[in-house]
Amino acid sequence: APPLRPFSIRLDRSSLELLPAGPVLTRRLSDLEGLFADEAAWRADVDNGDPIVYTVASSPVPETATELPQSITRIRPGDVAGELYFTKGHMHPVAEGEIYLGLEGEGGLLLFDGTDIEFLEITPDRIGYIPPGWAHRSVNVGSNDDYSFLAVYPGGAGHDYGWVLEHGFGARVYAGAAGAELRSYPQP
């Protein structure tokens, strides 16, 4: 496909929609198989209504090399046996950076390079920087509200979800009495 012509996109501040809109992806709990620590609790919640965990609404910019796509992820509040709702998480196989801009709610950005763990707090108007070579997962750490953010990333970077199944994230995020708790686990 030829490169796009210049155009502008409107971010509707009340609905947090991108206009014009592109494809929307919906991830239910059943799409997150093998990712939550408590497998039995995950299965019970899948059988009991299989709730939507997050949506990803893209702009019309395609994921092709040299273009710069954007999307808005909205994560619902919730947990599986205390483990807060999150995105699947991925590594970009072509090592390139990415930015997230917080739009609503309280989020956490869990980053893992296979050795080191970082956890960034993302609230409205805060930008999280994801350097090349760091797998990233977003967590809704708010107890009642959606967490939404805008992602901007290189269209040729690709998305490797298998990396996460193999390496994990080095830590999990739980609802604690005094807010979200990051619990790291031993590395294999």
Q: Where are the alpha helices (DSSP H) in 115-184?
A: 162-167
What binding mask, one character per residue, do residues 50-89 give for ligand F6R by CB under 6 A, x or -? ------x--------------x-x-------------xxx
CB 184 within 8 A of CB 171: yes
Q: Which amino acid is at 146?
A: D
Kindly tell me which of 56 and 171 has the beta carbon lying closer to ligand F6R.
56
Nearest to 169 by CA among 113, 87, 99: 113
Query: What residues contact 7, with CB distance under 8 A and at least 6 apart?
Result: none
Kindly tell me which of 131 and 176 has the beta carbon lying closer to Zn ion.
131
- Identify the H or E element spanning 43: helix 39-47
Kindly tell me which of 17 and 98 has the beta carbon lying closer to Zn ion.
98
What binding mask, one character per residue, do residues 89-118 give for Zn ion by CB under 5 A, x or -? ---------x--------------------
Q: Site residues (CB under 6 A) for ligand F6R?
A: 56, 71, 73, 87-90, 98, 136, 138, 151, 153, 159
Q: Site residues (CB under 5 A) for Zn ion?
A: 98
